[in-house]
Structure 1
Amino acid sequence: MSIDKTAIRDAATVIVLRDRETTPQVLMGQRGSKAAFMPNKFVFPGGAVDKDDHHVPLATPPSDINALRLAEDLRPETSPTIGTALFAAAIRELWEETGLILGTKAPWPEAPGTDWEAYANTGHLPHAGGLKFVFRAITPPGRPRRFDARFFLVDAADLSGDIDDFSRASDELSHLQWVPLSEARSYDLPFITEVVLAEVEGRLHEKGHPATVPFFRNTDEAGLFTRLYGRPPTKADLGG
């Protein structure tokens, strides 16, 4: 049996939800036809954690339950600062790929790293308080790139500025648009995006954080579906 040696990179994805109570929509864009990973697919903004993400100051910290769940079931090679870095990466990728700001007006305490210069020039510090960790999935073996992706849900009301202005977006995603949740699964989507959309639909009217976070742990041997609790699971959690 061959074993996939493709390195797994930590990554963060942002699901921005607007008009939750009326006509819910999510922000999506299309990857290029020549992209090495998921070409032509419609996806949420997101990408791999960069080195500067480990050192970014957050204007508002993540909630305790988010932090606990992000620290649960880590791969052995994962950095102990990955929790903060994942929140930072989510905010940076949202900014780079859509031009939208999840941040609070405030000066930076020190000069930002290269990856954060453009964001810092907007006069904002990243705001992690509105992000909810709702899903985790590792790319299955055999793909050209593999990611340990954490999906974060945020309400569009938490963003700063005009949420319809994508003029500052990079060219990584095309056809940026607010997609009605009821129509999203008719687009050309990766399988995992379809699964996450179903999860979002089920949480539309949920208050607070989810009771558990689904985790698709795709290893070299088999795909395994588990849940992250942020605490030791009880017998009731496990159906006992």
Structure 2
Amino acid sequence: MPATGEITTVQETETPIRDAACLVVVDTSASEPTVLMGRRHASQIFLPDKWVFPGGRLEDDDRVLASRFDSDFKPADLAHEIRPFALAAIRELCEETGLIIGRDGALIDQSAAWRAFAASGHAPAPGALLPFARAVTPPGRIRRYDTWFFVAKADAVSGKGAPPDGELLDLGWFTFSQAAELDLPHITKLVLEDIVALLKADPSISGLNDLLPFYHSAGTAYRRDLISCKVAPPLP
């Protein structure tokens, strides 16, 4: 998962920046909202034993599939360069949790990356996702990612697919106060705070701010700027 933490450092020139997406699923049906999180394996090179949101790397198949969706995104004018990230977030949610955010109907794309999702009998529904943050892993990390974070309400989940792939352990729903006590990467803490602020301003998660937080390198720490998701800003 794309984020920062106490991990082995390498030379910046040896660490390419890869595209990735994360999906924060929030259940607002109870008096206190909860968020879906899981713990990464201790044996994983990147962020071992850390608690994270479902997500992962963008695949070429996500870009191909995104080119076939003309209007099923939120906002409708979401930048074309960002649309594949929304689909990747849905695919990763399916792979890591077994949860489907989609609509009934066959998925035309039968690529390797989307085969498990297609087997559920659904097509992805990216209109259920709202982009709300972007982050680029600082230099010097063993992995670096340019990640778009999306949020979706739990009632957008339309079914279950194949069993989770086991990449995330101890999957569960946590209140935000409980989640804050977990062993989180620094960027996950920041994004969690952004979600809390979003819920305070828009409890129904029905709208979108014109400008979203963008975390990127400022020395060894994160800098927070505001960007639009209606254009694709270049890497800093």
- TM-score grouping bracket, smaller chain normalisation: 0.7 to 0.9
- 1:60–1:126 Cα contact (<8 Å) kept: no
Deviations 1:52-105 (A, max 9, x none): 11112449611246614xxxxxxxxxxxx5322111110100000000001000
Deviation of 1:19 after TM superposition, in Å, equals 2.1
Change (3 A) 1:28 1:231: closer
Unmatched 5+ residue regions in structure 2?
A: 1-9, 232-236
Q: Could you tell me the TM-score, scaled by structure 2's length?
A: 0.83
- 1:12–1:149 Cα contact (<8 Å) kept: yes
Amino acid at match of 1:198: E
Deviation of 1:4 after TM superposition, in Å, equals 1.1
Deviations 1:137-187 (A, max 9, x none): 10011110000011000001111126xxx9711110000001111211100
Amino acid at match of 2:45: A
Q: Could you tell me the TM-score, scaled by structure 1's length?
A: 0.82
Aligned twin of 1:75? none
- 1:144 match: secondary structure: coil
Structure 2 Cα separation of the partners of residues 85 and 230 of structure 1: 13
Aligned twin of 1:108? 107
Between the two proteins, the alignment pairs up a number of residues equal to: 215
- 2:126 match: secondary structure: coil
**Max radius of gyration: which structure?**
1
Matches within 5 A, 1:2-41: 4-5=12-13, 6-19=15-28, 22-41=31-50
Matches within 5 A, 1:41-120: 41-56=50-65, 57-58=68-69, 61-64=72-75, 67-68=78-79, 82-109=81-108, 111-120=109-118
- 2:62 match: secondary structure: helix
Pairwise CA RMSD of aligned residues?
A: 2.4
- 1:82 match: secondary structure: coil
Q: Does 1:217 align with 2:212?
A: no
- 1:20–1:204 Cα contact (<8 Å) kept: no
Aligned twin of 1:192? 187
Aligned sequence identity (%): 36
Structure 1 Cα separation of the partners of residues 173 and 139 of structure 2: 32
Amino acid at match of 1:50: E
Deviation of 1:225 after TM superposition, in Å, equals 2.1
Unmatched 5+ residue regions in structure 1?
A: 69-80, 233-240
Change (3 A) 1:86 1:34: same
Amino acid at match of 2:224: F
Structure 1 Cα separation of the partners of residues 42 and 170 of structure 2: 13
Deviation of 1:12 after TM superposition, in Å, equals 0.3
- 2:82–2:229 Cα contact (<8 Å) kept: no
Q: Does 1:182 align with 2:177?
A: yes
Structure 1 Cα separation of the partners of residues 223 and 142 of structure 2: 21
Change (3 A) 1:116 1:146: same
- 1:97–1:173 Cα contact (<8 Å) kept: yes
Structure 1 Cα separation of the partners of residues 20 and 78 of structure 2: 15
Structure 2 Cα separation of the partners of residues 149 and 200 of structure 1: 16
Structure 1 Cα separation of the partners of residues 230 and 143 of structure 2: 31
Change (3 A) 1:115 1:219: farther
Change (3 A) 1:222 1:39: closer
Deviation of 1:224 after TM superposition, in Å, equals 3.2
Structure 2 Cα separation of the partners of residues 23 and 44 of structure 1: 19
Structure 1 Cα separation of the partners of residues 138 and 169 of structure 2: 26
Aligned twin of 1:154? 152
- 2:21–2:58 Cα contact (<8 Å) kept: yes
Structure 1 Cα separation of the partners of residues 29 and 71 of structure 2: 23
- 1:212–1:227 Cα contact (<8 Å) kept: yes
